[in-house]
Structure 1
Amino acid sequence: MIKITADSTCDLSPALIDQLNISLMPLHVLIDDEDFRDGVDITPKEIFKYVGEQNKTCTTAAVNTFEYENFFAGLSPKYDAVIHICLGSDFSSSYQNAKLAAENFDNVYVVDSSNLSTGSGHIVYDAALLAEDGIEPEEICKQLENVIPKVDASFVIDKMDYLRKGGRCSSIEALGATLLKIKPSIEVVDGKMHVGKKYRGNFERCLENYVKDRLENNDNIDYSRLFITHSHCAPETVAKVKEAVARFANFEEIIETTAGCTVSSHCGPNTLGILYKRKN
């Protein structure tokens, strides 16, 4: 039997985690240097309270090698193989630390998702399905490596306050975006985050235009699965995004998930993305 594990940043829902029998390794969230474990000791809503209401500083930190060693040690003897999918190596040192820890085990495999949130979640989901089919671990890793470059991950951010507080944009940029009602899209390209198109106006209208830009007249979409992942957007906002998706594409499966502490701490509330796979 093969066990699939992942960093907590994959942002799969608790129901999916349970259904697919996935174990998560929580990253660290630091609030004014107080250490919390993502999804264990702290939730995104608590982050919004600390940062938004109390103006505290929030950062994230990687899982260290010792933590991964303990994590793998508890699973390795129980399974034929353990396949761990990490947050992209350009976003964190978690992948490098997990690789070092895995050297102490003959049956632990570590995969660099080159992505974050449900961009990684797609890889975790696929790994779990392949494991259920009884595919050998080496073949699973090989198939995942083929899928990783095909994941299309992007988000639209309502306000740039959290990016400013995290040092990822200047106060002038944040102020200008607020005054001009600019909602930037953030895209993962070749394992790195880039600013994509900048939308302007009402957040819901920007999201509709964003969905149209990603899906309309796009013949390179794998329609098997789409994640709508958001940091506690209003239900009516998410409903309008689902309606927009249905207008431009026909996915076999649409899964709504809530972004975890990593995306939430960097992007803040009212961040939403549609994440799917390309054919090539």
Structure 2
Amino acid sequence: MKTAVMTDTNSGIMKAEADSMGIFLIPMPVIINDETHYEGIDLTETSFYESLTGGKNVSTSQPSPGDLMDLWDDIFEQGYDEIIHIPMSSGLSASCSSAISLSTDYEGKVQIADNHRISVTQRESVMHAKKLAEAGKSAKEIKEILEAEAYNSSIYIAVDTLEFLKKGGRVTAAGAALGSVLNIKPILTIQGDKLDAFAKTRGIKKCKQKMVEALKNDRETRFKDADDRHILIGAAGSNLTEEEAEEWKQMLVDAFPNSYVYYDPLSFSIGCHIGPKGYGIGISVCSKDYDN
């Protein structure tokens, strides 16, 4: 069986990289002033955040059923027998449940893995799926493996401004105003299904330190039995400069010297809610047959 691996841009994987790895990709739609754009296709990180901070009406959406099924049909026309599709977590978007519903028309040839991840942890799932497909695993087997390992990950995100959380109803206007005056920066966490509050600190520098401490605690408790070679650390950010991104990545390299560390921009689905200059960090435990 020839199994295709597919994901969306919430994984941090963009078209050029997906093409180079032989992974199929569907871009996530972004609506700006009632016009639909697509992450990584006709919408760059710079233009997205300029729109978000420039007073435009910005929201994200799930792929249309037609676009999703057209891509599946195209993959089969290219000679693949099965598809394993890894969308963002069902707890963060309806795109996963929509894909599951649409897949029923394909008589088991399209398998949707709801492994409750997004961003850097979702990327690890996609890379793992690719290795499994190359090893001859079926789409159904890959789905079962990914879903069994779903919660072997954590994400923490530090928000520089409360403005966009206020717009999304996650913090009151009064709370946002007070936070701005006191320079309070919230830290959010994603432990599978949803974005939750984790901690508050003063200043982004302390936020970064707090997140590193949280990830070290996860490593020493939840993931204490994992070999360093099977720990992936993902640094992420929203509209960071190259210097800021490299500094953040290096901070994590120093904190986790024996693990693989990389950097990805946060997806627009997250950036839309947290705004620019946010910092993210994720940890994933890889399967023993995943070769870094």
Q: Normalising to structure 2: TM-score of the pair? A: 0.86
Q: Deviation per CA, 1:101-136, whole angstroms, max 9, x where unpaired?
A: 212223111111312222222211211121122222
The size of the alignment, in residue pairs, is 278
Q: Deviation per CA, 1:154-212, whole angstroms, max 9, x where unpaired?
A: 211111222223333222222122111112111112411101111212x2342133212
State whether residues 208 and 241 of structure 1, in contact with CA within 8 Å, keep that contact through their aligned partners in structure 2: no
State whether residues 215 and 283 of structure 2, in contact with CA within 8 Å, keep that contact through their aligned partners in structure 1: no
State whether residues 168 and 273 of structure 2, in contact with CA within 8 Å, keep that contact through their aligned partners in structure 1: yes
Bigger Cα displacement from structure 2, 138-147 vs 228-237: 228-237
Distance 1:173 1:93, change over 3 A: same
What is the identity, as a one-letter code, of the residue corresponding to 1:120? Q
> 1:15 Cα shift?
6.2
> 1:265 Cα shift?
1.6
Distance 1:112 1:247, change over 3 A: same
What is the identity, as a one-letter code, of the residue corresponding to 1:73? D
The percentage of counterpart residues that share the same residue type is 22
**1:73-88 equivalences in 2 (<5 Å):** 73-77=73-77, 78-88=79-89
Aligned to 1:97: 98
Unaligned runs of 5+ in 2: 288-292
Aligned to 2:171: 169
The yes-or-no answer on 1:208 pairing with 2:215 is: no
Aligned mates of 1:17, 1:156 — CA distance in 2? 28
State whether residues 72 and 102 of structure 1, in contact with CA within 8 Å, keep that contact through their aligned partners in structure 2: no
The yes-or-no answer on 1:249 pairing with 2:250 is: no
What is the identity, as a one-letter code, of the residue corresponding to 1:208? Q
What is the identity, as a one-letter code, of the residue corresponding to 1:261? F
The yes-or-no answer on 1:21 pairing with 2:30 is: no
RMSD: 2.2
Q: Deviation per CA, 1:36-61, whole angstroms, max 9, x where unpaired?
A: 122222123212211212x1121111
Q: Normalising to structure 1: TM-score of the pair? A: 0.90
State which of 107, 123, 126 in structure 1 corresponds to 2:125: 123
Aligned to 1:186: 188
Distance 1:141 1:208, change over 3 A: same
Aligned to 1:132: 134
Distance 1:233 1:94, change over 3 A: same
> 1:278 Cα shift?
4.7
